[in-house]
Chains A and B, each alone.
Chain A
Amino acid sequence: MEEALFFVSALGALGGAVGVIAMRNPFYSVLSLVVHLFSLASLFLLLTAAFVAAAQVVVYAGAVMVLYIFVVAYVGGGGESAWEPIPGQRFLAPLLGIALFVELSVAVLASGLRALGEEGPDVKAGFGDPAAIGTLLLEKFLLPFEAASILLLLAAVGAIVLAARRREEAA
């Protein structure tokens, strides 16, 4: 059961990821990313990370993707030029990607990962639920939590400054 759920979600995540880079129209790329994010959320549920999965669906698939869709609708999904500054880029890039995957896999699988065991330790029932994450965030990780909130505020102000219409432009 667990294995079946893993492989279905993994296929969804991988298919979504390939869809993002393969679709000509940016709008379809965004929709593929939504598929990817939902599959990833179910993988998080398999790893007993309920709160991260919920945040993934609500924040990413809910809010961030809507933002993307608004911007795609605003600027329009223009086709990309076939001009290549580096000859053979479209051929070389996947080779580099495969090389990166092989290297990462070798680096991780050759390490002491086996020492973690087959299934991981048995965790208590509330592992990764909102209460546990909230306690950790507000006690042990209070400073990173506040820093994240300031970062979000700065990003919001920065986006308004970047994208707002200048007064002389509007006139």
Chain B
Amino acid sequence: MTPEWFIVLSALLFATGATGILIRRSPMVILLCLELMLNAGNLALVAFSRMVGNEEGQIFALIVMVVAACEVVVGLGLIVAIYRRRLPLNVDDLRELRG
């Protein structure tokens, strides 16, 4: 397989995740779309790591996975906190922080 296929697939997955963030309202689905975008980045990192013949890109992918796990934990904590306060789980209604 040539690297182009993997990179183009990665771009396609990233664009899918970005589209999801733009059209969905539920903060939970937006977190899932963030995962899609991070995973697209991981795919590109691992593909380049293979094509260069150096394992260091895989370390990058692992660190991205750690950061994604942290992001999920904090994001889900926020969602649970929002739900506890009986606020709507909708990013268009939760806009008190908007400038």
Contacts and interface: CB of A to CB of B under 8 A. Distances in A.
Interface string B53-76: 101101101110111111111101
Interface string B16-30: 111110111110110
A83 to B, nearest CB: 7
Most A-side CB within 10 Å, residue of B29, B65, B92 = B29
Interface residues of B, number: 69
Interface of A: 2-3, 6, 10, 13-14, 17-18, 20-21, 26, 29-30, 33, 36-37, 40, 43-44, 46-49, 51-52, 55-56, 59-60, 63-64, 67-68, 71-72, 74-75, 78, 80-81, 83, 85, 89-90, 92-94, 96-98, 100-101, 104-105, 108-109, 113, 116-121, 123, 127-128, 132-133, 136-137, 140-141, 144, 148, 151-152, 154-156, 158-163, 165, 169
Give me the 9 closest cross-chain CB pairs, A-B, nearest first: A97-B19, A21-B20, A93-B22, A155-B70, A101-B15, A159-B77, A162-B77, A104-B11, A121-B53
